């Protein structure tokens, strides 16, 4: 290895060389990651306008990434603040699909450290987006930057495509596909190692029903609320009562556990708060749904409140909603040998005075036909006794295990980790469902704790180094195909 004019020319790029390079670039990589995490880039309807289609924070984060890449000598493009890319090389286009938007932080009191401070403690960088997906994005970006500075001849064009709406409707990638070149192959650092060859189908369901108040109830349930994203298990849920609040307070205190808080709200109302544990909707069994808890409390036969119709409905459906999450209680359960069981998550509830809205996220096995799933949704609607519509549907993704690009990615992972595990199927949905000939590659290792969409999300900095190393090897392999 020689250094000429401050440019590193690698005659042989071995593992030791890569480790040295990563060490030299590591501090800047961490800083880049922190700069992105400090920007709250969740979808913000209050700041959406013609120039910021997903809100000011998402646009700011995209422009920050574009600025970093442009200063490092990449070719960059901002696609109307929907998405952007950083590119280098020439030849066949290889895409790297990542996202800069994040889900809301939830109850920030449940975080050890502020979710948008990007603080480092015990070699872990904490923050919303650290592992989903800003940290992995910077890992791939740093790998590509190291190769660029190393003087390697690029036989391919590598384009890091960064979107701003992955966590809601993926409108960012739809916009990209309408106006930009489609890569021959793409991978996304937004799932798991060793690689993901199958992703479950996803349906999001919106349910509605009116429960009019009769006007004479001594205690009235005025509101129910939980969740901000349907693809997150809600960690807090609230109910609001009016009328004889002293009476309902006594009744609730007799049955309340440690997971229920009861207190007066703005003097005239009683607020009841249930606490659970957040998780990604692809693995809802890893969370504790706070609304499920709250509804089971509200279904207790000792409670007396109106509207009577709503109270009776809660008593009928509360025990159908469980953290088992396989849909068995609704007769919608199904599974296959590739991707496992169907999962269902109630992510959003809104009830105010009369109107009740529920939003569910369902992930179904890759071999189940869409028509069969639509029949199952009818079963769900009947059990819930609500008007129902499918608000979002993304069919399953399946990639042949003999795909040549997949094989090259696996070689890189195996060389760094000595792990020869088979590719896996997941319940998560990634950009790969929106882009032909694509699959997910990292960034979670198989023994990692699931941190996406959860409180205290972090990325371990030693694993961050390993990510950079794997992606360097993967990019070299793809470049040499």
Same domain, 382 and 449: no
Last residue of a domain, one of 343, 362, 394: 394
Same domain, 382 and 427: no
% residues pLDDT > 90 (the chain): 80
Same domain, 241 and 99: no
Q: pLDDT tens digits for 376-388?
A: 898 899 999 999 9
- What CATH number should be reported for the domain holding residue 305? 3.30.70.360
Q: Is the pLDDT of residue 4 over 60?
A: no
Tokens matching residue 293: 């808890």
Which residue from 233, 454, 274, 452 is spatially nearest to 360, judged by alpha carbons?
233
Q: Please give the model's pTM, rounded to 2 decimal places.
A: 0.82
How far are the Cα atoms of 3, 215, 216, 307 from residue 219, in angstroms, in the given order?
A: 78, 10, 9, 9
Same domain, 263 and 169: no
Which residue from 441, 408, 447 is spatially nearest to 424, judged by alpha carbons?
441
Same domain, 284 and 156: no
Tokens matching residue 353: 């005075």
SS3 221: strand
Angle in degrees, CA 16, 22, 27, rounded to 5: 150
Q: Is the pLDDT of residue 92 over 90?
A: yes
How far are the Cα atoms of 158, 216, 287, 424, 435 from residue 87, in angstroms, in the given order?
A: 6, 66, 38, 29, 17
Q: Any alpha helices (H) in 84-231, and if so which ranges?
A: 134-149, 171-179
Which of left, alpha, beta for 337 (phi over 0: left; psi -120 to 50: alpha)? alpha
- What CATH number should be reported for the domain holding residue 104? 3.40.630.10
Same domain, 194 and 209: no
Per-residue confidence at 107, pLDDT binned at 50, 70, 90?
Answer: confident
Q: pLDDT tens digits for 279-332?
A: 989 999 999 999 999 999 999 999 988 778 899 999 999 999 999 899 999 999
Q: Which domain holds residue 305?
A: 202-394
Which residue from 298, 363, 359, 291 is spatially nearest to 327, judged by alpha carbons?
363
Same domain, 195 and 207: no
Q: pLDDT tens digits for 140-173?
A: 999 999 999 998 999 999 999 999 999 988 999 9
Is-contact 232 347, C-beta < 8 A? yes
Question: Taking the alpha carbons of 102, 236, 218, 299 in that order, is the dihedral positive or negative?
Answer: positive
Task: Give the largest CA-CA distance in the chain.
Answer: 86
Is-contact 339 279, C-beta < 8 A? no
Last residue of a domain, one of 342, 368, 394: 394
Same domain, 173 and 114: yes
Same domain, 410 and 473: yes
Same domain, 16 and 151: yes
Q: Look at residue 41 in the predicted model and tell me its pLDDT.
A: 98
Mean pLDDT of 353-361: 92
Q: pLDDT tens digits for 5-40?
A: 334 444 345 666 788 889 999 999 999 999 999 999
d(CA 404, CA 158): 17
Find tokens 């970093």 and name the residue: 68
Same domain, 79 and 8: yes
Instruction: Give how many domains the chain has, as a whole number.
Output: 2
Last residue of a domain, one of 347, 379, 394: 394
Same domain, 369 and 424: no
């Amino acid at each position: 290895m020689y250094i000429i004019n401050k440019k590193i020319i690698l005659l042989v790029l071995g593992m030791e060389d890569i480790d040295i390079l990563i060490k030299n670039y590591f501090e800047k990589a961490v800083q880049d990651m922190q700069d992105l995490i400090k920007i709250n880039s969740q979808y913000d309807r209050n700041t959406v306008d013609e120039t910021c289609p997903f809100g000011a924070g998402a646009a700011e984060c995209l422009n920050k990434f574009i600025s970093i890449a442009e200063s490092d000598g990449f070719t960059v493009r901002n696609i109307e603040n929907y998405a952007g890319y950083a590119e280098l090389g020439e030849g066949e286009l290889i895409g790297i699909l990542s996202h800069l938007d994040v889900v809301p932080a939830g109850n920030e009191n449940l975080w050890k450290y502020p979710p948008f401070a990007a603080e480092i403690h015990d070699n872990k960088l904490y923050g919303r987006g650290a592992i989903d997906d800003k940290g992995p994005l910077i890992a791939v970006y740093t790998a590509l930057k190291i190769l660029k500075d190393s003087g390697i001849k690029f036989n391919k064009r590598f384009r890091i495509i960064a979107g701003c709406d992955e966590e809601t409707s993926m409108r960012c990638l739809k916009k990209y596909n309408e106006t930009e070149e489609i890569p021959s192959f793409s991978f996304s650092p937004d799932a798991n190692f060793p690689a993901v060859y199958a992703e479950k189908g996803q349906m999001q369901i919106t349910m509605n029903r009116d429960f009019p108040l009769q006007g004479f109830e001594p205690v009235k349930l005025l509101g129910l609320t939980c969740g901000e994203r349907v693809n997150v298990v809600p960690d807090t849920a609230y109910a609001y009562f009016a009328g004889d609040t002293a009476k309902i307070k006594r009744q609730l205190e007799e049955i309340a556990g440690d997971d229920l808080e009861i207190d007066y709200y703005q003097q005239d109302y009683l607020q009841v708060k249930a606490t659970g544990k957040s998780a990604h909707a692809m693995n809802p069994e890893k969370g504790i749904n706070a609304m499920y808890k709250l509804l089971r409390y509200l279904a207790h036969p000792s409670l007396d409140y109106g509207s009577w119709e709503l109270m009776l409905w809660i008593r009928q459906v509360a025990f159908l909603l469980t953290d088992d999450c396989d849909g068995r209680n609704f007769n919608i359960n199904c599974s296959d040998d590739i991707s496992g069981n169907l999962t269902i998550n109630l992510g959003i509830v809104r009830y105010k005075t009369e109107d009740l809205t529920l939003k569910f996220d369902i992930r179904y096995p890759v071999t189940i036909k869409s028509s069969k799933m639509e029949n199952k949704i009818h079963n769900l609607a009947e059990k819930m006794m609500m008007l129902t519509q499918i608000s979002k549907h993304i069919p399953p993704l399946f990639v042949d295990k003999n795909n040549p690009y997949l094989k090259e990615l696996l070689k890189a992972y195996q060389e760094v980790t000595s792990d020869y595990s088979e590719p896996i199927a997941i319940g998560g949905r990634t950009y790969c469902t929106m882009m032909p000939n694509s699959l997910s590659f990292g960034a979670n290792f198989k023994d990692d704790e699931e941190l996406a969409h959860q409180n205290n999300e972090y990325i371990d900095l030693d694993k961050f180094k390993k990510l950079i190393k794997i992606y360097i090897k993967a990019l070299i392999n793809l470049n040499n195909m």
